[in-house]
Amino acid sequence: MKITMIGSGYVGLVSGACFSDFGHDVVCVDKDAGKIDALKAGRMPIYEPGLDQLVASNVAAGRLTFTTDLAQGVAGADAVFIAVGTPSRRGDGHADLTYVFDATREIAAAVTGPTVVVTKSTVPVGTGDKVQEILREERPDIEIAVVSNPEFLREGAAIGDFKRPDRIVIGSEDSNDGERARGVMRDVYRPLYLNESPILFVGRRTSELIKYAANAFLATKITFINEIADLCEAVGANVQDVSRGIGLDNRIGSKFLHAGPGYGGSCFPKDTLALLKTAEDFGTPTRIVEAVVSVNDTRKRAMGRKIVHALDDDAKGKTVAVLGLTFKPNTDDMRDAPSLAIVQSLIDAGATVRAYDPEGMDAAKAMMPDVTYCANAYEAATGADAVAIVTEWDTFRALDLKRLAGAMTGNVMVDLRNIYRADEVTKAGFAYSSVGR
């Protein structure tokens, strides 16, 4: 099959590369000529483990190409995926669909025959209806079906998630177009279907809501365990044991029950806000999600205050080494990362911040210009009064604690990811503080 991916960002590039690895012919389209030139030269615009090798092998096989020419990319395609950005709008938090609708109009002008247009971007309920309306207005002469196919990719594990998904959700309408579209989507995902990955066929609006509901629920689990962590600190309990104790209940499950500085990234913050806006528009307020958003926003600054508290509530003139800046490990994504609020709260308290992250420093420099960026964890810790672990990169899990302590002026370690045992850290001479323990 010929598949066209409009947008070569995180979702579009990973999806396109994986589809090509299934044996489909894939064209990835993007307006950013610099990005397309880099991809043609084998340079990835994002950090995702294994993506560079996957792209290189499929480019070499002739199954994956890149272009800025949307008309050329769309011509003759069996399925055209829209994988452009849907950022939160300033002011109301609703998803900005400008890029989606612009892409839709360009697709309409470029299609040459019966086509399935697939919204891969995370879009509010009813977006597929509007996409279909635009396509019918622009091209009444061609049969174009519209399908919702949300992505469920975790940054840092996206390739595995795509190739071994928990489920594939496909939303289409009950019509002749819908039946044809479902047939095309079965063929698109045939390699996974043969491996018994479950395909869930639902209505288009249901599919759109599934993505938002899933992310809101996971954000709720994270926020719940973070509040339980605060309670654990107050009563003298251990949140990791609490997490294990409740996670062994199959009705709850252990995933997303790790206490920390709050969620960030490209999905949870944006999608929870968009869900709130949708619920408000339809007069069905989602009080739980409202609380989740509020608690998560305040938690990030609270983690900055936790570090200041470990410095005897006086950070003025002191230096803090921050280890980890991205919102999670194995990505270079700084969007809504907890480190942004944590670092700002430290600077507001009068501290000097030195930082190291294996992949995120280039992006961080534009967002946090008042930070000194270092070559490794030990350089960041040099002369520091405190070290704070903010992102749980593997490289931070086996630090030489004595070397780290020897580089520092002070002896405070604040472990916001609970990756160390208190006894081993205190043995190395640190005054140790963690989350919920």
Residues serving a catalytic function are 267
**Contact, 413 vs 431, CB < 8 A?**
yes
Q: What are phi and psi of 109, to 5 degrees?
A: -75, -20
**CA atoms within a 13 Å half-sphere pointing along the CA-CB vector of 331:** 20
Phi, psi of 283 (to 5 degrees): 70, 30
- Alpha helix positions (H), 78-203: 98-110, 127-138, 158-163, 176-188, 190-194
Q: Hunting for tokens 């509010």 — which residue is that?
A: 124
Q: Which residue reads 């990030």 in tokens?
A: 300
Residues 6+ apart with CB under 8 A from 178: 145, 172
The DSSP annotation for 19-70 comes to HHHTT-EEEEE-S-HHHHHHHHTT--SS--TTHHHHHHHHHHTTSEEEES-H
The closest of 47, 285, 58 to 158, measured between CA atoms, is 47
190 CB-contact burial (10 Å; exposed 0-12 / middle 13-18 / buried 19+): middle
d(CA 179, CA 85) in angstroms, rounded, equals 28
- Could you tell me the two tokens for 112? 């040459």
- Rg (alpha carbons) of the chain, rounded to whole number: 23
Distance, CA of 324 to CA of 302 (rounded, Å) = 17
Ramachandran angles phi, psi of 95, nearest 5°: -65, 130
Q: Are 337 and 293 in contact (CB under 8 A)?
A: no
